[in-house]
Amino acid sequence: MGRTDDGERPSPALARPYSWTEGRTEPTVEIAVEARVVTTAAGRDLPPRLTSAAWTITQLCLRPRSVAELAAYLAVPLGVVKVLVADLLAEGMVHVEATLARDADDAQRRELIERVLSGLRAK
């Protein structure tokens, strides 16, 4: 493993999630942190692989979960989850639900943020 700018080795716990994305940090599609992710029928049919991040996400999303919740459950950076969800979306394993219309007002945005924070605190 390479060294960081300060000469320290990166934490194995942080390096592993980035190996799940093959070092990619940008998703192929834009996904909001508050977007809800739901497993599709194809995702439900994935064979169990306890060490697979994709399988774990499809299991977590049998019930709709936000991207932020997934990052919290997996204890990985949001960027990693966005890349993984984008990959699963491209493969038809999950569906991403928009949470706000493009013309949402400030009150709607504030309410959404409060719901996401409340959900994260409850975990």
Average pLDDT of the residues in 83-106: 88
Q: Taking all residues of the chain, what is their mean pLDDT, rounded to a whole number?
A: 81
d(CA 60, CA 38): 9
Average pLDDT in the 78-94 region?
Answer: 94
Tell me what the mean pLDDT of segment 84-90 comes to.
96
| pLDDT top residue among 67 and 122 | 67
Residue-wise pLDDT for 2-49, tens only, equals 444 445 544 445 457 677 777 787 888 989 888 999 999 999 998 888
Across 2-123, the runs of DSSP E, i.e. the strands, are 36-39, 65-66, 94-97
Q: 53, 68, 62, 56: which is closest to 99 by C-alpha?
A: 68
Q: Can you give the residue ranges of every domain in the chain?
A: 12-122
Q: Which of 33-37, 90-94, 118-122 is predicted with the least confidence, judged by mean pLDDT?
A: 118-122
User: pLDDT digits over 43-79, tens only?
Assistant: 999 888 877 888 999 999 999 999 989 999 988 888 9
Cα-Cα-Cα-Cα dihedral sign, residues 48, 62, 30, 1: negative
